[in-house]
């Protein structure tokens, strides 16, 4: 199936793959976008008429009563620029909604590039006509939320939103746990214990105490552990938020008393991090699903 066939298949399913809440959000933003487009097009027309009236009354004089030190900052150029930007605003708002709601990271730039007129090469002076034509097309463009949703679903590559969210999370865990240049895992499992051997944490020494922090890649793994424990995204068991934040911890050992699948985390001065699961089965399942057994 080529890309066009794939897109045709997706467009039929787009509305069926979003919830009523999703649709309500999209329709509200579509209506607001449509109203803004119409209002600014009318404003451009009235502003042009106001400028013409000033020129008729004052002739070739540079003076105009449309602007003053305390007056509104309006010009045809600014109105046109805003009209052109409204299309991108709708696209980015809808993509951001789906990204934040379903914990995925679809590219808004990709969707915008596919839905908006292509910008010409502005490095060549002779392209001025193409430049002007591009801006005319951009001002005349009309974005439909259904087309934005089609682009989002296309980028899921056949996965549901939940499947894509897990695919991305597991991908971050895998990347964190492997040295892909050497095609070598940087973790090892011994029964219920998974040890991450490398630069996975750091300690800062002070005269009054040591302060510990996890590396960003380790935080990605810990987010995977939280998902393995709870089955949902962005819901962290007691004790996880402290480790995932920006503040350093005075302790290198953390117990997860409210968890059923994971028991504790321990940091070492050589950068190693141990995560102990409740059972050997839990540790093996987490390693297989989130970390990967092969590069």
Are 83 and 40 in contact by the 8 Å Cβ rule? The answer is: yes
pTM: 0.85
β-bridge mates for residue 214, sequence order = 201
pLDDT in tens, 133-181: 888 888 889 999 999 999 999 999 999 999 999 999 999 999 999 998 8
3-class secondary structure, 207: coil
Q: Taking the domains of the chain in order of start, what are their residue ranges?
A: 3-158, 165-291
Q: In the predicted model, is pLDDT for residue 122 greater than 80? A: no
Mean pLDDT computed over every residue of the chain: 90
Measured in whole angstroms, the distance separating CA 203 from the mean position of its chain's CA atoms is 31
Range 267-285 burial, b when 16+ CB lie within 10 A, else e: bbeebbbbbbbeeeebbbe
Distances (CA, A) of 209 to 204, 219, 252: 9, 23, 11
Q: Is 211 left (phi over 0), alpha (psi -120 to 50) or beta?
A: beta
Exposed, middle or buried, 247 (CB in 10 Å: 0-12/13-18/19+)?
exposed
Looking at residue 2, what is its pLDDT? 55
Q: What percent of the chain has pLDDT over 70?
A: 93
pLDDT in tens, 195-232: 999 899 999 988 788 899 999 999 999 999 999 999 99
Exposed, middle or buried, 91 (CB in 10 Å: 0-12/13-18/19+)?
buried
Q: What percent of the chain has pLDDT over 90?
A: 69
Residues 6+ positions from 183 with CB-CB distance below 8 Å? 295
| Angle, vertex CA 101, rays to CA 97 and CA 103, nearest 5 | 110
Average confidence (pLDDT) over 28-47: 94
pLDDT in tens, 262-276: 999 999 999 999 999
Which helix (H) or strand (E) element contains residue 227?
helix 216-230
Q: In the predicted model, is pLDDT for residue 14 greater than 60? A: no
Q: In the predicted model, is pLDDT for residue 26 greater than 60? A: yes
Q: In the predicted model, is pLDDT for residue 277 greater than 70? A: yes
How is 10-61 classified by DSSP, letter by letter? HHHHTGGGS-HHHHHHHHHHHHHHHHHHHHHHHHHHHHHHHHHHHHHHHTT-
C-alpha dihedral, 233 to 237 to 240 to 244, nearest 10°: 20
Beta strands in the chain (DSSP E): 178-179, 184-185, 187-190, 193-196, 201-205, 210-214, 253-255, 262-267, 273-277
Phi and psi, residue 144, nearest 5° = -110, 135
Looking at residue 153, what is its pLDDT? 94
Largest CA distance in the chain: 89
Distances (CA, A) of 68 to 65, 73, 74, 252, 264: 7, 9, 11, 63, 67
């Amino acid at each position: 199936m080529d890309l066009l066939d794939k897109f045709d298949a997706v467009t039929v399913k787009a509305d069926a793959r979003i919830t009523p809440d999703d649709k309500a959000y999209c329709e509200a933003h579509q209506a607001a976008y449509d109203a803004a487009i119409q209002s600014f097009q009318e404003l451009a027309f009235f502003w042009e008429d106001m400028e013409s009236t000033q020129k008729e009354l004052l002739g070739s004089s540079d003076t105009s009563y449309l602007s003053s030190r305390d007056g509104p900052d309006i010009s045809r150029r600014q109105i046109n620029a805003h009209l052109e930007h409204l299309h991108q605003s709708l696209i980015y708002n809808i993509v951001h909604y789906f990204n934040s709601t379903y914990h995925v990271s679809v590219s808004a730039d990709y969707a915008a590039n596919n839905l908006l007129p292509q910008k010409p090469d502005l490095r060549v002076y002779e392209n001025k006509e193409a430049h002007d034509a591009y801006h005319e097309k951009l001002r005349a463009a009309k974005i439909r939320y259904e087309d934005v949703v089609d682009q989002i679903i296309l980028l899921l590559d056949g996965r549901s939103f939940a499947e894509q969210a897990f695919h991305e999370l597991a991908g971050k865990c895998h990347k964190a746990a492997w040295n892909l240049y050497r095609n070598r895992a940087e973790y090892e499992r011994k029964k219920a214990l998974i040890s991450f051997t490398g630069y996975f944490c750091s300690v800062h020494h002070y005269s009054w105490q040591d302060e510990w922090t996890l590396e960003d890649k380790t935080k990605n793994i810990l987010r995977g552990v939280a998902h393995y424990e709870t089955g949902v995204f962005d819901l962290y068991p007691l004790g996880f938020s402290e480790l995932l934040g920006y503040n350093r911890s005075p302790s290198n050992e953390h117990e997860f008393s409210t968890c059923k699948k994971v028991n504790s985390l321990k940091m070492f001065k050589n950068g190693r991090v141990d995560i102990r699961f409740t059972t050997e089965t839990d540790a093996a399942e987490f390693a297989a699903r989130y970390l990967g057994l092969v590069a």
